[in-house]
Structure 1
Amino acid sequence: MALSCPACQQTLRVTRYEGEKVALCTGCRGCFLAGRSLRQIERNRDIEVPLEAAASPTAEMPELSRACPRCKLTMRKARYGELGGAIVDQCQQCGGIWLDPGELEAIQLNYEAVNPLPTEDSPPAYDFACPKCGFSQQEGEQCQSCGVYFAKIKQQLEQQAARDSVEAETTARVEAVLKDLFAIDISQQYHITEALFSFERANEYFLQLHPAQSGRWHIQELNANGYSILGRQLFGLLYTFTMELRDQRQQLIMTMKRRPRLYFHELDILDENGNHAGRARLRFSWLSRIVSVEDNEGTELLRLTGPVWKPWTFQIYQGLRQMGTITKKWSGSLLESFTDADNFSIRFDGNLNTRRKRLVIGGLMLVDSLYFEGKKPFWQHFISTPGIQLVLASAAAVLSLTALLSS
C-alpha cells in the first residue's frame, strides 16, 4: 500500500538518493527512510557542501506530532546527528525516520564538520562501514564490532533489496489499477461437494476489474483444513476466517481476518506488508443493516448500508454522499438452491481514493459472510433476520449495561 505524507497527506514517491531508497513527498519535500539508510547517506561525501553552514541547527522542534507513514503510530521527537542539530521524527516500532525539508542536508553537514577529510599528515581513515552496525574498519570477512560475516549480510541485503523492488513495483501497479477502477464483478467458486452433500468448503472468489484491461484478481481463504471446515458446518455465522487478495501475478495485495464475535462482527484488513490498514465492523441498527469501514484509529471512513426491503443491495456512503453500490446477482436456481456460490458487483459512483477502494473490498467480504451466502441451515437464516438481530443486540446491550452498573 502506498505511503502517505504525515505532514500534508500526499502520496509519497519512492526514489533513490545517494544509493538509498527514500520515500519523498512532492508537496512539502519531506522524506521518510529507514534508520540504516540515513546512516549511509549521512556518511556519503559525494556531494560538495560549504562547511561553514555545518553547525547551523534546523528550525525549532515543531509541536505537531506526526504519524509513521508505514505503521500509523505516533512518532517521537529526537535529536539526530553528530552535533544534534537536526530534530527528527522516529517511529519506535519500525525504526523509520521522517525528515522535514532541510534536515537531511543539516545532518550531512554536521557529520562532515565533525569528521573532516584526512590531510596528508593524518593517518589513513577506514572507509569501510559494516552494513549491519555501521562500525568503520578495514575491509575484511567479519565485522570487528558485531561479528557478522559480510558475505552473509550482503546476501541478505541483496535478497531484501530484491523483495523491496518487487513490493514497490506491485504497489505502483496496484495503485495505478485502483486509481482508474470504477467497477468490480465478483464470482464465487463453487464445489460439487456442496451441491451433493451440503458440505461447506473454503471460499474462493474471482474479481474481474473494470476497465477490463486492469486484469483479474483472486481471493482465497487460507488454512482450510479439516478442523476449519468442520467449524464452518457447526458455527456458521460465528465462523472465523483468513483470506488473501492477490493480483494476476500472485502478488499479495491485502489480507482479511474475521474475528470471533456473537453479534458485532468484525473483519481486520491488513496491507501487503502485514500492517493494519483498517477494519469492517457490523453496527447496531433498528431498520437497516450497516457495516462501518474504519481506519486504524476507529474513525469511520465509509458506511455500507443495506435497507431491509432490499436484501441484496448495499449502498456505499462517505458521510452523507453515496459513493457506490454493492449488489448481489442472481446465480440461477440450481446454484442458489444447492450451493452458496454468489455473484455480486461493486460500482463506484464517486471519486473514492485508492485506499478506500481497498477497504470496500474488505467490507464486502464481511457483508457476504453475514448476508449474501444463501445456502445456510434454517437456524442461521433465522438469527440473521433483522428482527432476531435486534433482540440479540438489545440483549447484549442490557447485559453490558448490567455489568457496567454492577462493577
Structure 2
Amino acid sequence: MILGTETSNKYEIKNSLGQRIYFAVEESICFNRTFCSTLRACTLKVMDNSGREVITVNRPLRCNSCWCPCYLQELEIQAPPGTIVGYVAQKWDPFLPKFTIQNANKEDILKIVGPCATCGCFGDVDFEVKTINEKLTIGKISKYWSGFVNDVFTNADNFGIHVPADLDVTVKAAMIGACFLFDFMFFEHSLAGL
C-alpha cells in the first residue's frame, strides 16, 4: 500500500454455510496490474480445497466505457481447464451495465442487468440474472455492503450468487466468472490513489 503497487487478486468461494469450497488466484503481469489497472488482462484459476484446478477464467485486455460500443469486456470460462464451456460478454448500453452469459458456441443463454449506479454506498448492489427476453428474473449476483471502513480502505469485497439449484453447472461456472468481472469493473480501486 505504501508503494502503491497493485497485487494479484485472491478469492475464497464459499457455500451458503460459509464453508470454503474453492479458492481462486489471479495470474497477471505486474506491468498490466500497474498500468492497465482494472482493465488488465489476466487469468483466474479456480481450485478446489485439494489444490486441483477446476475452472479457468481468461480475461483479455478490453475497453470499459459506456461511450465506446466496441471491444467491450468479455471472459472465457473453461471447466475443466482446456474445455471452453461459456463466455460472459458485456453488451453496450448507455445507462445500465448489461451482460450476457453465453454457451461454448457464443449463443446467449441468460442476461445480467445491473443498476444504474454501482457505487454501493451504504447498501448492497444487485445484478439481476434474467431470461433472454428480460421478462423473468431467475436470480442475482450481489455485492454486499461491508461497512464504510472496509469499502473505503481495503480491496476486500463480499459477493453472493443466488440462482436456482438445478441450473446447469457450466452456467454456474460462468456466473462465478461474471462475479470476478463485476469486481474488476465496478468495485476494485487502485491503492495507488490512497
TM-score tier by shorter-chain length is 0.7 to 0.9
Measured in 2, the distance between the counterparts of 1:210 and 1:350 equals 12
2:152 is aligned to: 337
2:8 is aligned to: 202
Measured in 2, the distance between the counterparts of 1:370 and 1:310 equals 10
Q: Does 1:256 align with 2:57?
A: yes
Measured in 2, the distance between the counterparts of 1:370 and 1:313 equals 14
1:147 is aligned to: none
Cα separation, partners in 2 of 1:267 and 1:273, compared to 1, 3 Å: closer
Q: Where do 5+ consecutive residues of structure 2 fail to align? A: 65-71, 120-124
Please state which structure has a larger fraction of its residues in helix. Answer: 1
2:122 is aligned to: none
C-alpha contact 1:323 1:351 (8 A) present in aligned 2 = no
Q: Find 2:23's aligned residue among 202, 215, 218.
A: 218
How far off is 1:310 after superposition? 5.3
TM-score, normalised on structure 1?
0.41
C-alpha contact 1:198 1:338 (8 A) present in aligned 2 = no
Measured in 1, the distance between the counterparts of 2:4 and 2:191 equals 9
CA RMSD of aligned residues (A): 2.3
Cα separation, partners in 2 of 1:289 and 1:234, compared to 1, 3 Å: same
TM-score, normalised on structure 2?
0.81
Q: Find 1:361's aligned residue among 150, 172, 176.
A: 176
2:95 is aligned to: 287
Please state which structure has a larger fraction of its residues in strand. Answer: 2
C-alpha contact 2:90 2:98 (8 A) present in aligned 1 = yes
**Identical-residue share of aligned pairs (%):** 23
2:36 is aligned to: 235
C-alpha contact 2:127 2:140 (8 A) present in aligned 1 = yes
Measured in 2, the distance between the counterparts of 1:265 and 1:375 equals 19
C-alpha contact 2:150 2:156 (8 A) present in aligned 1 = yes
Measured in 2, the distance between the counterparts of 1:238 and 1:364 equals 15
How far off is 1:259 after superposition? 1.1
Measured in 2, the distance between the counterparts of 1:269 and 1:303 equals 16
2:137 is aligned to: 322
How far off is 1:231 after superposition? 2.0
> Looking at CA atoms only, which structure, 1 or 2, has the larger radius of gyration?
1
What aligned pairs does 1:11-160 form with structure 2 within 5 A after superposition?
Answer: none
Measured in 2, the distance between the counterparts of 1:197 and 1:333 equals 23
Cα separation, partners in 2 of 1:366 and 1:239, compared to 1, 3 Å: same
Partner SS, residue 210 of structure 1: coil
User: How many residues in Structure 1 have an aligned counterpart in Structure 2?
Assistant: 179
Measured in 2, the distance between the counterparts of 1:205 and 1:370 equals 16
How far off is 1:217 after superposition? 1.0
How far off is 1:355 after superposition? 2.0
How far off is 1:287 after superposition? 2.1
The structure 1 segments of at least 4 consecutive aligned residues displaced by more than 4 Å after TM superposition are: 375-378
Partner SS, residue 175 of structure 2: helix
Q: Once the two structures are superposed, what CA deviation does each residue of 1:43-80 show, in whole Å capped at 9, x if it has no partner?
A: xxxxxxxxxxxxxxxxxxxxxxxxxxxxxxxxxxxxxx
How far off is 1:199 after superposition? 2.2
Partner SS, residue 75 of structure 2: strand
Q: Once the two structures are superposed, what CA deviation does each residue of 1:312-355 show, in whole Å capped at 9, x if it has no partner?
A: 22111133321211111223333322332211111225742222
Measured in 2, the distance between the counterparts of 1:316 and 1:259 equals 23
1:306 is aligned to: 114
Q: Partner amino acid for 2:25?
A: Q
C-alpha contact 1:238 1:261 (8 A) present in aligned 2 = yes
Cα separation, partners in 2 of 1:326 and 1:276, compared to 1, 3 Å: same
Measured in 1, the distance between the counterparts of 2:191 and 2:103 equals 31
How far off is 1:276 after superposition? 1.2
How far off is 1:240 after superposition? 0.5
Q: Where do 5+ consecutive residues of structure 1 fail to align? A: 1-193, 379-407
Q: Partner amino acid for 2:59?
A: R
Q: Which has the higher contact order (CA 8 A, sep 6+)?
A: 2
Cα separation, partners in 2 of 1:272 and 1:357, compared to 1, 3 Å: same
C-alpha contact 2:9 2:26 (8 A) present in aligned 1 = yes
